[in-house]
Structure 1
Amino acid sequence: MAALHYNRESVPTIRRFMESDAFIRGLMGPFGSGKSSGCVWDIVVRGLRQAPGPDGVRRSRWAVIRNSYRQLEDTTIRTVHQWFPPARFGRWKPTDHSYVINRMVAEGDEKPAEIELLFRALDRPDQVGNLLSLELTGAWVNEAREVPWAIVEAVQGRVGRYPARRDGGATWSGVLMDTNPPDAESDWYRFFEEKDHSAAVDAMAAIVPGMTVDRFARIFRQPGGRAEAAENLDNLPPAYYQRLAVGKSDEWIKVYIDGDYGFVMEGRPVFGEYSDGFHCRDCRTVPALPVYRGWDFGLTPACVFSQMLPSGQWIVVDELVSSAMGIERFADVVARHSAQHFPKTRFVDVGDPAGMQRAQTDERTCFEILHARGIAIEPGMQTLAIRLESVRRPLRTLLDGAEPGFVLHPRCATLRRALMGGYQYRRMQVSGERYADRPEKNRWSHVMDALQYAATRLFGAELRGAGAGIDDGAGGEMDGFQMHSDDDRTRSNITGY
């Protein structure tokens, strides 16, 4: 065992993580910081501390969870076997993805402990069902940010069930998780950083009189890879993190090297031209000029407020994003917001042409509903290629050689994250770097569609008229919509009608 000693003293965050008795524990840190190894050792140490059963054997059962079998086999299982090779420590059953470590004896015992590891992935529906029927001592969720939070919640109800009460029960039970930093708007962040767990602590203490419960959940954040207190550097190549940072974006470095919450992007950004440090800055509208409101419909409607300045700079100054809201309620929200924040402003409204289709319920269109409220909305261009190019053109433009042709106000948080990569081409589950040919429909796509419809009003006619070398990619939809002049109607200051 001396050759397999894991020097926790050199990784203080791992040591504190293993010493904690919180029911749910998260370990967050940068690449190469030893998170997975720490979780493996925590399971083994707790297995050796489990109270012996009637026959003198310390038994525990652990689910080890990852989001796909390929990652489970390539990383998680490999890490376990590197520390505890089956040839020396137990029985590995590859067909069952199970491993029983049964050749380790706790100090003072005569019989070896039995630490059972059940490796489970979530890329097949039947595996999720199997996970929810297990009787476990504890669970380890490896790279937890990639696993749906609903699974994390479900597995909490499966731990503490093995060994059975008649055999002494579990000495300790809980859920271990490790991850690279997730998104600052993720369920992980809300659970560990924002949620008050005091009620859970009180409830646990009330169940067992005299029981001392300090924490229900606790997160351990390792220092960043470039920090003075960076951990596990002795086991990494020289200047590992410094070399890793070369050529990476600020957001990537923030997440994967500095170990901080940030925006996590897995696909390929649709608008790779966007640079947050260059394009995101304060900006103000000019009262005498119209404000363009771009609309997207459905049950997750969005509205984006933008303006074209005399300099040719397109500024995006505000956004409204909703969920589970019909167009009538959303129109009222937009009208109130416009009256409060854009008084005496003339609006030009451009929306998704699908808003001209009649609903099956009352046969009214979204456009008719908006017109009834005094909002003179007109259809933008539907062709995806022109929509995307209408946004790319100002993103690529430099004014006077230094100023960006596109500026996004920092208050537009959803648009900002969408442009940073939330609006993306989904990576295909195949070998190599292959991505879908159309942007993914996700929580970021609605506000981006709203932005694009406004952009087609500003730039689409020129693109369509000149051809611009654009492949419409959608069966020749380029000529489907008539463009209107901004001054072809008399508009209200508030409604735009």
Structure 2
Amino acid sequence: MGKRAYAQEIDINWKTFIGMPVFSTFIPSIHISDTPLTPHINSQLICGWDQGLYPSCVVTQLQVLNGHLRLAVFMEIIGENISAEEFVPNTLMLINGQFHNMADNKLIHYCDPSSFNRKDTDYKTWADVAASHGASMQPGAMRFEERKEAVEHWLLRVNPEGPAFIVDKTRCPMLVKGFEGGYRYPESYESNEPSKIRPLKNEYSHPHDALQYACTGIGRMAHVKSQAPKIQRPSYEIIKQRPGLKELTLSQGLPPIGQTVTVGESRYMSINQIHKNQRR
């Protein structure tokens, strides 16, 4: 029995995925914060949004630490089978509740460019709906290669103050698990042309798409051209069991993902649960 099958059989390593991770430059011991991250009050929050029936929002901030730039990822909010009319206002409510000391004008929003496209069944676009609730959207990058590079720009750098990219482990469980292998290429990716390789569409791809839209928006700001040195790539254990099959095994644990997320002393329900409670 292979290592992956053995780990799954006895349920000691549930973070084992078939296929190569999209961000092999992510190093858990460097890029994960076990303690809650704190926003800088005088800096804007940058939110990335991915639309669809499983929409996601990721809240980030570009911080300056002793003259060095750091991208901090504070929070993920993920909906399930929910419309923009439901997801956007509830998400903004959660953001304003969590970051209540930040003024409304401290929020910048980047989204999937297709959010500006109208459907045959509705004259309103996803971006129109967001705007009606006070979230003025700007389009992120369309090309996957550009979005991936925008994230890796931060992953590959380290400052004297620490890594140039840091993610809150408690408030971003799906992003973290995606970085550690859940957000990955299909098993047969090696047989495809490099320009046609795309990650699997799964539960991890939605928050990661949202993060990428935020990062491409940040990258368009002239002052984010970080000159921090690059860090070395991590060395993951790759196991070949048969031709065409690769396994990625990661050992560091994560907290279980439930319907609620505990942030400090506050407890937040999932978006769809909030909506159900409001209907009662």
Which residue of 2 is the match for residue 334 of structure 1? 91
SS in 1 for 2:215: helix
2:10 is the alignment partner of 1:274? no
**Identical-residue share of aligned pairs (%):** 26
Deviation at 1:295, TM superposition (A): 0.2
Distance of 2:92 and 2:70 partners within structure 1: 26
Which residue of 2 is the match for residue 369 of structure 1? 129
Runs of 4+ aligned structure 1 residues displaced above 4 Å come to 433-436
TM norm structure 1: 0.40
2:24 is the alignment partner of 1:265? no
2:168 to 399, 402, 409: 409
Which residue of 1 is the match for residue 145 of structure 2? 385
Which residue of 2 is the match for residue 316 of structure 1? 73
Deviation at 1:460, TM superposition (A): 4.1
Aligned ranges 1:78-227 → 2 under 5 Å: 179-182=5-8, 221=10
Q: Which structure: greater strand fraction?
A: 2
SS in 2 for 1:419: helix
Number of equivalent positions: 212
Distance of 2:181 and 2:27 partners within structure 1: 11
2:154 is matched by which residue type in structure 1?
A: P
Distance of 1:180 and 1:288 partners within structure 2: 50
Which residue of 2 is the match for residue 284 of structure 1? 38
Distance of 2:23 and 2:12 partners within structure 1: 24
Aligned ranges 1:232-243 → 2 under 5 Å: none
Deviation at 1:416, TM superposition (A): 0.5
Distance of 2:13 and 2:83 partners within structure 1: 33
Distance of 1:279 and 1:322 partners within structure 2: 25
SS in 2 for 1:265: strand
Deviation at 1:180, TM superposition (A): 2.7
Task: Judge conservation of contact 1:317–1:408 (CA < 8 Å) in 2.
Answer: yes
For residues 333-365 of structure 1, what are the alpha-carbon distances to aligned partners after superposition, in whole Å with 9 as ceiling and x for unaligned? 212101210113211111111000112222210
Distance of 1:320 and 1:404 partners within structure 2: 24
Distance of 1:268 and 1:325 partners within structure 2: 30
Deviation at 1:376, TM superposition (A): 1.1
- State the superposition RMSD in angstroms: 2.3
1:389 is matched by which residue type in structure 2?
A: E
Deviation at 1:461, TM superposition (A): 5.7
Which residue of 2 is the match for residue 139 of structure 1? none
SS in 2 for 1:313: strand
Distance of 2:185 and 2:176 partners within structure 1: 17
Residues 1:461 and 1:388: Cα distance change in structure 2 (over 3 Å) = farther
Deviation at 1:31, TM superposition (A): 4.6
SS in 1 for 2:109: strand
1:294 to 30, 48, 56: 48
Which residue of 1 is the match for residue 186 of structure 2? 426
2:218 is the alignment partner of 1:458? yes
Structure 1 portions without partners, runs of 5+: 1-29, 33-142, 144-178, 183-219, 222-258, 466-497
2:213 is matched by which residue type in structure 1?
A: Y
Task: Judge conservation of contact 1:387–1:460 (CA < 8 Å) in 2.
Answer: no
For residues 194-215 of structure 1, what are the alpha-carbon distances to aligned partners after superposition, in whole Å with 9 as ceiling and x for unaligned? xxxxxxxxxxxxxxxxxxxxxx
